[in-house]
Structure 1
Amino acid sequence: MSVAIEREEWMLSPLIYGFLLACCFLSVFLHPYFSRSGGAARTTTTASSLFDVGPTAPFLRFQRSFLLLYSLASVMEGLESVVGEYEFAYHGMSRDQMVLVASAGVAVSLVFGTFLGFLSDIIGPRKFCILFCFFHLLVGVLKSVTWQQSMLMSTLFMGIASTVYSFCFETWMVAEHEKQGHRRDLLSDTFWLMTLFESSSLLGSQALANLLTKDLKKGFLLASAPAALLAIISIICIRKEWDGNNQKATVESYQKSFAGHIIADKSIWMLGWAQASVHFSLSVFWILWAPTIVEDGREVQLSHIYPCFLGSRMLGSTAFPWFSGTSALHNEDHNHLIAAFVIAGLVLSIIAYDYQDIGVLVVLFCIFHACIGLISPSLAKLRTMYVPDELRGGMISASLVPANAAFLFVLIIGGYYRRLDNAAIMALAAVGLLSAAGCLHVLRWWRKHLRQNWHEL
């Protein structure tokens, strides 16, 4: 006599999607009212919000064009990352093989990606934006021809492309912003909109990937084709809308400038560590969130949960204007940024410390991503204050070195040799975020007493 075992399934309420979307809209559309009421006594000061009278038509036209291009790049990046997991599983790769392939991609980012930011500053970030699109086009062509032979090369190209993506578009936007003569305080609006559009684009890329991979035998070819098509469109847009960047430097002059302004400045080291901790924690989240949730033993639709995380990041990005510009919550000491790092670190500490119910884990991961949504534009704003524009790409790529090295260590020791459990890896990410909060606290103290900053936003 056989015994039927019923497996319990955990269901996510569809209302959560509407709740996150409503919160995003309320945060965006209520901000102008509160910013005007809070800044009524400062009507004579310069406006510093997208919702004030400040932005001109040329700036809005430039901002919308760039955000459209950045959204296309984000869709490409998200599409390849989502489809890659399906590809490995479909072709029967073992867990150890997946770990080795992922480690190869991180190793390439660590070795070659470190110098790409420097080259971007020397020859111009516009060319590296085109290079990013070219890598996606090349990977799409390789996957269309044969997957088995191109699997490793595609992973290596995607590792380099992800590194280029992390700095080239922000660096290029700031350079074009200055080149066209727009007000510098308007950069803050573009920073949080970049995070908002990136998160929404990643959400759209996941939906598109799920649609294209329903038929696994045909899905991968169909999934690589949109990425290649978007790459071609992006290259055309870049070459048509914006001319070349005239800002170039020699290797010798760049080395002297980088050594004097970046390496010799302890404030940049603090800021770089904060960026590295964010990059490492997101990498750890990407590989551990699904195993952490399914450890409960109940069946769960992971594809229904991940959009909540991206929606939470969108909500966090919409909170950024409330702490900048003419908002009543605006604070020059960046207390909100330190608080976001502390909360994110504590959330990961709770997850690492003990087992939690699926519902609690989903809430904790949503809080973590909301903090990331607030942290990303805040760090970009701090980079504009402390890092010279001509050194921005090199500073960002250099800050990713410790993050990539730590992630490679986690993949090999924890993933391949299995000498680190998931809780220990999550705890490392939590320690990194909490230490970053301490670095920003020191940076705030230095700024208050020494007034070390390049620009005021």
Structure 2
Amino acid sequence: MELMYYLLFGGLSVVVALLELSKTSKDRVGTSSAFSSFKNNYLVVYSLMMGSCSLPLYSRSRANPPHSGDWLQGPYVYYLYSQYGFDKGDIGRLFIAGFGSSMLFGTIVGSLADKQGRKRACVTYCITYILSCITKHSPEYKVLMIGRILGGIATSLLFSAFESWLVAEHNKRGFEPQWLSLTFSKAIFLGNGLVAIVSGLCANLLADNLGFGPVAPFDAAACFLAIGMAIILSSWSENYGDPSDSKDLLTQFKGAAVAIASDEKIALLGAIQSLFEGSMYTFVFLWTPALSPNDEEIPHGFIFATFMLSSMLGSSIASRLMARSTPKVESYMQIVFGVSAFTLLLPIIANLLVPASGVKGGSMSSAGAFQLFGFCIFEACVGIFWPSIMKMRSQYIPEEARSTIMNFFRIPLNIFVCIVLYNVNAFPITVMFGMCSIFLFMASVLQRRLMVVAESHKSSKFTAS
């Protein structure tokens, strides 16, 4: 079984390398040196931001997946809290507080980015997350709760302010709209893939090999954030959504709500994003118990690195797809959501075909290996999803309220994740995966509707002209 892990990891590494090296002229888009400099600057900052989030990602506490929390801060958070003497219930409430603050306060702070400036919002993210990292030094529950609230606010800014700044700055500098896809795909390839793997290795080195303890990855993350903030302050210009003094926060919220309600494309995009990301976060909670239902010994960090490689593979595929005029992103994403829905049905299929042995320990079963391959395909779909949804958001969300609307999209996601965290042990794992599969199938159906609406809108504009 150990040989299978190495073959899978090595095979994925070779495929990713070949995909990147074998790009032809059809897969590449001719750009200018000014754009390359702009893109590289953003990628350095984005990689530092994602690296700071990924540093606290790996640890032996991955064996506690139902309570080990969120995609960004992962198991070292859980392990650190357990070292301070808190039980699963206390830790669960801390994680719920993080998602709840992202839903409530993050939406407000994200909306301020449109009015007060996206660059300021990105700097605010760095400061907020640094403060969140500092709170990890305290064993006091109230201090840790404040840290989780700050982390939730920072998460909302990470997933709205940086992308909003990028899109606005890209357009302000007069670069070709098609070039934006290059930045998106490369950001996911590096920030959500390669950097995550390297950061995980650094976290293990600091916390375990060098013996600095579970708080060390958070200190390293704070250093990365400080470097990124310095680059932002020195090289980024400010841009806004609607800086009008006549619009207060409530007016901005109303404007964003009206935009979502009046434009079916925006509403569909928000529903698709919530359905997919909700399923993705649920997968993060469940993949370990799915692969080791009888406490089998599985290399959690190694498998997670394989997932990240799969995500890199997906982003590489996405860059090829988006570099061509056909198929359109609205078209191929229907297939991606359909494949994702099938892969999350595999635990149910495996449970039906291969009854559980009930024998504790040992290595991964054949049913687990079957699921592992399916989960790698799902992670490849995740790698395709991120740059593709970014491209659709850049096309359909109005500039004046971009950050506000993007944070509106995260409200149902955070509600869903809080519900899942609270009830993760109340339902069988097959029920949870079945629910995710249904959500992804719904996303595929809504994606089909989005394509139809977008095409009819283009046709009507062409006829009118």
Scaled by the length of structure 2, what TM-score is found?
0.85
The within-5 A match list for 1:118-133 is: 118-133=111-126
Between the aligned partners of 1:313 and 1:394, the Cα distance in structure 2 is 28
Residue 331 of structure 2: which of 326, 335, 353 is its match?
A: 335
Higher alpha-carbon deviation: 90-99 or 249-258: 249-258
Identity %: 24
Whether 1:233 and 2:227 are equivalent positions in the alignment is: yes
Shift of 1:452: 7.6
Shift of 1:114: 2.6
Residue of structure 1 in register with 2:24 after alignment: 32
CA contact (8 A) 1:140 1:228 kept: yes
CA contact (8 A) 2:115 2:240 kept: no
Q: Name the SS for the 1:218 alignment partner.
A: coil
The within-5 A match list for 1:31-430 is: 31-33=23-25, 35=26, 51-53=28-30, 55-80=31-56, 81-82=73-74, 83-144=76-137, 146=139, 150-198=143-191, 199-214=193-208, 218-245=212-239, 248-250=243-245, 251=247, 254=252, 257-326=255-324, 330-332=326-328, 334-355=330-351, 357-412=367-422, 414-415=423-424, 418-430=425-437
Unaligned runs of 5+ in 1: 1-8, 36-48
Between the aligned partners of 2:460 and 2:372, the Cα distance in structure 1 is 39
Alpha carbons of 1:421 and 1:314: their partners in 2 closer, same or farther (altered >3 Å)? same
Name the aligned partner's letter for residue 338 of structure 1. Answer: Q
Shift of 1:448: 2.3
Name the aligned partner's letter for residue 310 of structure 1. Answer: M
CA contact (8 A) 2:50 2:195 kept: yes
Name the aligned partner's letter for residue 266 of structure 1. Answer: E
Between the aligned partners of 1:161 and 1:258, the Cα distance in structure 2 is 21
Unaligned runs of 5+ in 2: 57-72, 355-366
Q: Name the SS for the 2:5 alignment partner.
A: coil
Shift of 1:447: 2.1
Name the aligned partner's letter for residue 382 of structure 1. Answer: M
Residue 14 of structure 2: which of 15, 19, 22 is its match?
A: 22
Whether 1:451 and 2:427 are equivalent positions in the alignment is: no
| TM-align CA RMSD | 2.4
CA contact (8 A) 2:268 2:446 kept: yes
Q: Name the SS for the 1:300 alignment partner.
A: coil
Q: Name the SS for the 1:299 alignment partner.
A: coil
Provide the aligned length of Structure 1 versus Structure 2. Answer: 426
Shift of 1:372: 0.9
CA contact (8 A) 2:29 2:323 kept: no
User: Deviation per CA, 1:191-223, whole angstroms, max 9, x where unpaired?
Assistant: 111111122212222111111221697323422
Between the aligned partners of 2:323 and 2:133, the Cα distance in structure 1 is 42
Alpha carbons of 1:256 and 1:152: their partners in 2 closer, same or farther (altered >3 Å)? closer
Name the aligned partner's letter for residue 269 of structure 2. Answer: L
